[in-house]
Amino acid sequence: MESMSSPMGQGGRLRALRARAAMEVGQHEFAEMLLSEDLVVSDLREGERILGETWWELQARKEARALRCAVTDEIRARVRDVAPPPHLDFRQAD
C-alpha cells in the first residue's frame, strides 16, 4: 500500500476510494481517518455521492457492530436520517 504522504496517496478521490475499501474490509477507524475534514476531492461534481454514501455505510456498519448484528436495511435507513458532515455532503438541494 502506498504511503498517504506520497503524492499519489494525497489525491482526494483516491483517498475517498481508499476509505471505501478500508470500510469494506472492516477497518472502520482508518476509513474515518481518511474521511476527516481535510479531505478535498477537487474534481467532485455537484450531486456526486461517493463521500456521503461511504459515510452513511460506515455509520451503518459501526452501529451494527455496536449492536452485534449484521447490517440491515433498517439500520441503513436509520443512519440516513443523519446528514453527513458538511465537507462530505454534496447532495443537490431538492
Q: By C-alpha distance, which of 49, 76, 77 is closest to 62?
A: 76
To the nearest 10 degrees (0 to 180), the angle between helices 12-24 and 50-67 is: 20
What's the confidence (pLDDT) of residue 9?
A: 46
pLDDT digits (tens, 9 = 90+) for 49-70: 889 999 999 999 999 999 999 9
What's the confidence (pLDDT) of residue 1?
A: 45
- Which residues, in sequence order, are CB contacts of 85 under 8 Å at separation 6+? 37, 55
Q: Averaged in consecutive runs of 10 residues, what is the pLDDT profile of the chain (94 residues)?
A: 47 92 95 89 82 95 96 96 87 60
What's the confidence (pLDDT) of residue 75?
A: 97
